[in-house]
């Protein structure tokens, strides 16, 4: 019997689901259980680790078990008004979706908002909600609080939860917004709020240390890379199902080349699958890595040119030699930087742009493909 070849053995660049979802069962079960029990969660995960994929899968499982849940991404928000709009839209389309099908119910819900919203419907049939500011200054924190309190309408009847993805945006927009979520979360004692973020240094400001608004608000879950044995088995099995052979050695090379980061593992595996004949081997992986770097070289060049000279040298030095001793004389010499303060300033910018990350005390370039381009 011939095995049908799937169109896409690997998937990257957007949240994955179905057969493309690998492992994460422990973290998934933990998030799901808390969403059903009304407990809050602070989920920390660097970008490309599969955070959004896990959250969307958790929402699906919660709904299958009778809970009401929804998803809001704050990544495109740039003002307090836009945060309030995104949250209100996510609640109407998610936890309260069944209550908004009748016009009378929708009107009743919107009466709880101190500013009457303008409602639209997008191509998928979902509500698009916006607030038009009046002539006088608007208290957007109170409008946001009104929106969050809509969740109480559903939580009285069934387990209710709301995922707030890329939550670090509230720090970048207004430090005070975190306190609004904290205050309303205390009122919504039976509702689960999932605060998820990918910029870890900003999420730590929200969730750690004295005065942090999310401190002690719920379970703290940190996503790491998927264990190598699980990910490499997944890679080999998917290749086999698609009609090509990938042994454990080649799968391990793919995993190691990109630091085990799930999105990048799938990206490199996909390119290797395209390059290979019947077998994905060490040579195939090397060619695939070079092809990806070549395809992205223009983007990497533009990114590099936008950095200040000191930032460029620090980034290049850490690409070729990751280290935790960034203030040592040897690193200052390697990066051609005059003093530790200049290194600290450069690292602050590079970390803020998610070009650097610190893992196990070592600073390294976050993206393995960019790292390869820098070290060519």
User: For the chain, how many structural domains are there in total?
Assistant: 3
Residues of the chain falling short of pLDDT 70:
1-7, 18-20, 133-136, 155
> Are 244 and 166 within one domain?
no
> Are 168 and 108 within one domain?
yes
Order the strands of the 41-44 sheet from edge to edge: 68-73, 160-165, 191-197, 41-44, 219-222
Instruction: Give the model's pLDDT for residue 114.
Output: 83
Instruction: Give the model's pLDDT for residue 345.
Output: 96
> Are 162 and 244 within one domain?
no
Output the domain CATH number for residue 269.
1.10.8
User: pTM higher than 0.75, yes or no?
Assistant: yes
Instruction: Give the model's pLDDT for residue 7.
Output: 58
* The token pair that represents 98 in the structure block: 């069944």
Distance (Å, whole) CA 232 – CA 39: 34
Instruction: Give the model's pLDDT for residue 136.
Output: 62
Q: First-to-last CA distance in the chain?
A: 46
Output the domain CATH number for residue 369.
1.10.10.10
Distance (Å, whole) CA 276 – CA 284: 6
Instruction: Give the model's pLDDT for residue 5.
Output: 46
Instruction: Give the model's pLDDT for residue 293.
Output: 97
Q: Residue 211's Cα: distance from chain center in Å?
A: 25
Domain boundary among 189, 222, 255: 222
Instruction: Give the model's pLDDT for residue 349.
Output: 96
> Are 369 and 316 within one domain?
yes
> Are 189 and 105 within one domain?
yes
> Which regions of the chain does DSSP assign to beta strands (E)?
41-44, 68-73, 118-121, 127-130, 160-165, 191-197, 219-222, 245-246, 279-280, 356-359, 362-365
> Are 329 and 240 within one domain?
no
> Are 129 and 56 within one domain?
yes
Domain boundary among 222, 248, 270: 222
> Are 277 and 319 within one domain?
no
Domain boundary among 187, 222, 257: 222
Output the domain CATH number for residue 30.
3.40.50.300
Is 259 part of a structural domain of the chain?
Answer: yes
Domain boundaries, position 319: 307-374
With pLDDT > 70 as the criterion, what percentage of the chain qualifies? 96
Is 250 part of a structural domain of the chain?
Answer: yes
Is 102 part of a structural domain of the chain?
Answer: yes
> Are 68 and 214 within one domain?
yes
């Amino acid at each position: 019997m011939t095995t049908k070849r799937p169109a896409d053995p690997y998937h990257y660049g957007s949240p994955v689901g179905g057969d493309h979802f690998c492992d994460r069962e422990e973290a998934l079960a933990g998030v799901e259980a808390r969403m059903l029990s009304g407990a809050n969660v602070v989920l920390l995960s660097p970008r490309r680790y599969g955070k959004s994929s896990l959250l969307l899968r958790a929402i699906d499982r919660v709904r299958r078990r009778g809970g009401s849940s929804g998803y809001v991404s704050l990544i495109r928000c740039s003002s307090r008004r836009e945060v309030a709009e995104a949250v209100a839209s996510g609640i109407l389309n998610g936890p309260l979706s069944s209550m908004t099908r009748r016009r009378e119910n929708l009107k009743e819900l919107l009466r709880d908002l101190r500013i009457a919203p303008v409602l639209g419907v997008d191509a998928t049939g979902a509500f698009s909600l916006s607030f038009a500011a009046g002539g006088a200054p608007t208290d957007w924190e109170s409008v946001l609080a009104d929106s969050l309190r809509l969740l109480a309408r559903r939580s009285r009847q069934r387990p209710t939860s709301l995922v707030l993805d890329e939550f670090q945006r509230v720090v970048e927009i207004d430090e005070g917004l975190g306190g609004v979520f904290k205050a309303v979360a205390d009122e919504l004692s039976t509702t689960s709020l999932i605060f998820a973020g990918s910029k870890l240094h900003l999420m730590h400001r929200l969730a750690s240390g004295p005065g942090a608004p999310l401190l002690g608000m719920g379970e703290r879950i940190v996503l790491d890379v998927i264990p190598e044995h699980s990910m490499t088995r997944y890679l080999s099995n998917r290749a086999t199902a698609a009609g090509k052979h990938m042994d454990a050695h080649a799968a391990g090379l793919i995993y190691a080349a990109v630091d085990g980061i799930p999105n990048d593992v799938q990206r490199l595996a996909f390119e290797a699958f395209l390059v290979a004949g019947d077998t994905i081997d060490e040579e195939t992986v090397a060619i695939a890595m070079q092809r990806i770097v070549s395809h992205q070289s223009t983007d990497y060049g533009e990114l590099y040119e936008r950095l200040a000279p000191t930032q460029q040298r620090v980034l290049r030095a850490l690409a070729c030699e990751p280290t935790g001793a960034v203030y040592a004389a040897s690193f200052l010499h390697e990066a051609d930087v005059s003093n530790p303060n200049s290194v600290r300033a450069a690292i602050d910018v590079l970390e803020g742009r998610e070009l650097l990350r610190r893992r196990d005390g070592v600073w390294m370039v976050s993206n393995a493909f960019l790292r390869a381009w820098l070290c060519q």
